Amino acid sequence: MAPMRIVSLLPSATEILFALGLDQQVVGVSHECDFPQAARSKTVVIHSRIPKDASPSEIDRLVREFSARGESVYFVDAEALRSLSPDLIVTQDLCHVCAASPEDLASVLANFESKPEVLSLNPLDLGDVWRDILLVGEQTFHPHAAEKLIESIGEKLGVLEQEIQFADDKQQGADRPAVAFLEWLQPIYVGGHWVPGMINFVGGHDVFGEPSRPSFRVTLDDVARHPCRSKRTCLRARCQQLFLAPRSSSSSRPRNSCQVAAPCHRCEQGSGSCDRANRRGKTRRVGVVPTLCAHRGF
């Protein structure tokens, strides 16, 4: 049997595929797939319609305009995709402005003589994130590799859980740190879906987000209503912008992160990009947990 030819339109799916040892079988990716480094050498079949130099507020406006017209933010390179003759395309149907969706592919694939399978990932919480790894393993005939990867992630989380429990035992009676996770700043959107679960895992309290709920918009006044008080910390994440594009000159996302006025002097700024926690990197998402732990002083 010939090796499966796979196209990934989702950065997190690309990471999963590489982590499962399928790097040679990944023949195409989206413009946003920048990790691991070898992913950047793959043929790009999806491009953003947002200008490369657009500001955060302009990106938000353009996305709203595309949505109002019923148009996609993404352009599918039909000829490039056809030339790759994929057996499997991995995408998502969770957020139509975050990455390409099945609808973006429908009209293009309708003209293909041999239509590939389309696997759509739709995680709502951390449990779904881990299950997606198993799902990709099943679809690519690498179930054992997926199980081993989940075991490795579980071991890392187990060690972190013990450290967190030890720290909590030493701080009995202390308030749970209040966390405001902002993933987009012009306008302000708070992290959703699996992000509140990650914050809860390290003993924090997400003042806005709810598990499995999509990201939603808040105002600066909303953020200011949650000032830091005694034994409370407001974690303010340094945010990369809406799209998953790599941090390079070809990205439609601004290179420099925006910042929002802190509600008080004790607010902290997350070290690193919030897109590691929120929109990309299912295999690396566990690595964000220690970052959150560090802001608790563990």
Q: Tell whether 194 and 251 lie within a shared domain.
A: yes
Domain that holds residue 249: 174-294
Residue 159: what residue type?
V
Within a domain: 281: yes
- Distance, in Å, from the CA atom of 86 to the CA atom of 98, rounded to the nearest integer, reads 23
CATH number for 27: 3.40.50.1980
In a domain, 220, yes or no: yes
- In this prediction, residue 259 has a pLDDT band, given cuts at 50, 70 and 90, of very low
- Let me know if residue 271 belongs to a domain: yes
164, part of any domain: no
- Residue 169 in any domain: the answer is no
In a domain, 264, yes or no: yes
Tens digit of each residue's pLDDT (9 = 90 or more) over 189-220: 888 888 888 888 877 888 888 888 888 888 88
Contacts 24+ apart (CB under 8 A), 224-232: 224/263, 226/178, 226/180, 226/263, 227/263, 227/264, 228/178, 228/263, 228/264, 228/266, 228/267, 231/174, 231/175, 232/175, 232/177, 232/178
pLDDT band at 227 (very low <50, low <70, confident <90, very high): low
Single pTM value for the model: 0.73
